[in-house]
Structure 1
Amino acid sequence: MTATTTTPAHPDDTQALHPTQALDDTVHQRVRLGVLSIAREADQVEFGFLKHQLAVTDGNLSRHLKVLESSGLIAMRKGYEGRRPRTWISITPKGKRALDAEIQALRELVHRLDTRGTPL
């Protein structure tokens, strides 16, 4: 099967951009999307829980959390539970808006494919 597409002659053309143009590279990455999604379900989530749920290492999760925090999408709070140090993560209002926009872009992409009879 060959796909036929029409490329706009100029970026300012009035044709709607492909839904993937609305995807945010910061949010769309698998681990970061997972962090935001899980954090959206609770007031705050503990680092160890995220690590387990996303099946990543401490270092890998820490790197992704730094990206999200520096983008203003999450807030991190360090403290203790008993004698054990803990890190709690919560999604910010900006993070909620970014996650909502990402989900909307994905919905538009699925809708576009579904209405064209493309098997999903």
Structure 2
Amino acid sequence: MPLGLFGNKFSPKKTPPRRAQSLSNLHLDADESKAEFGIDYGPVKVSLGGNEVAFENGLWVNESGSGAASHKEVQRLKKDNQNLHEENNLLKLKIDILLDMLAETSAISHFHGNEVKQLREARSKKR
């Protein structure tokens, strides 16, 4: 193999020196560096098909009211729905208790009716 085939092409070339202007942002104070480099950024917002969504607390939240309910409204409706389910369960329990009380009262009334009937029959036999 001839040595001239590869030559010195694998030796790295010297990089050109950097310009002094690119180092000017190293002299910023903390507030300026946050503003410059975006360390303190707000919520991530994306607009897709006319709907704007933001990433908050690990969830994508719909912020535009067009076409769909807002996240806050959905949360409120879920809470209302949960409250209505709890109220419905309480009312079902109250109905069950009232039916038990009605059955008990009916049984007692039937028992007293039979007792009165037996006493009348016993009284009529004595005469």
Same fold (TM over 0.5): no
Q: TM-score, normalised on structure 1?
A: 0.25
